[in-house]
Amino acid sequence: MARPRPTPAGEAERLQKYLAQRGLGSRRAVEEWIRAGRLSVNGRIAELGQKVSQADDIRLDGRAIKTRASDAAQVFIFNRSPGDPLREGDGERSALIDRLPKAAGRRFVAVSPMPGIDGGLELVTSDGALAAKLQRTNHTLTCEFSVRIKGVLGPDHIEGVKSGKIDRASRMTVEGVSTSEAQLEGANRWYSIVVSGASGKDVRQLFERQGALVSRVMRVSMGSLKLDKSLSRGQFRQLEVDEVQALLKPVEPKTSDQ
């Protein structure tokens, strides 16, 4: 699936989509700006559904918005340490997103972010429309998580985890759960779980539903994208175009041989 095409000069596009494609806000955020009368186009208060192009003078709170689109969307992968804030407002410490190059954009959207107390693989992009597509396809991707609990799960508890059942309707499918003696850490043990259709929050709840005391959940992979030793805690790198395209590729439904 190709990345959403930026609107070229002279071609009109709805204002909320036009700004979202340039990482200036999600469509919902832009709609809220319009309703609040904060956006103007060519000196007049903007209206919902209004179409614009690069030739228009678009302003937010009276300040001109630069709407020149970058040649390619930039997507970054972070290896986030538990407790480190990903975005501004997530905590008292400086956000990881603040470390990204200023040229990449002014506003970043996190794709299926992990809960603040957990960590591991995080994705962010300044392209609002691309972020929305990545969010949708992420629900179909197979992801791996490492889960640290106190003690050891018994056979019945393992089967409960494999069932994928949590307290709400979910399409979660558990493809495997494993641990080993090498994954012992004092009184704690790490479990690896491969699952599709689940967020980090879902995985935590899945183990807690079996009575496990979960102290940490770390995302290790998302589809074809994996954390590796070259990306230390707190570090990031920009994804290559083929890596982004692989994340956007629809996942074919699995069929069982009869």
**Where along the chain do its domains lie?**
13-64, 75-138+228-248, 142-222
Give me the chain's average pLDDT, please. 83
Chain position carrying tokens 């071609």: 11
Q: How confident is the model at residue 9 (pLDDT cuts 50, 70, 90)?
A: very low
The stretch 16-27 carries a mean pLDDT of 74
Contact assessment for residue 222 and residue 124, using Cβ atoms and an 8 Å cutoff:
no
Share of the chain above pLDDT 90, in %: 43
| 90's tokens | 């997530």
pLDDT digits (tens, 9 = 90+) for 178-207: 998 778 888 899 999 999 988 999 999 999
Please name the amino acid found at residue 200. G
Decide yes or no: CATH 3.30.2350.10 for domain 142-222: yes
Pick among 3.40.50.300, 1.10.10.10, 3.65.10.10, 3.10.290.10: CATH of 13-64: 3.10.290.10
Residue 88 CA to residue 96 CA, distance in Å, equals 8
Predicted TM-score (pTM) of the model is 0.69
| 106's tokens | 């002014």
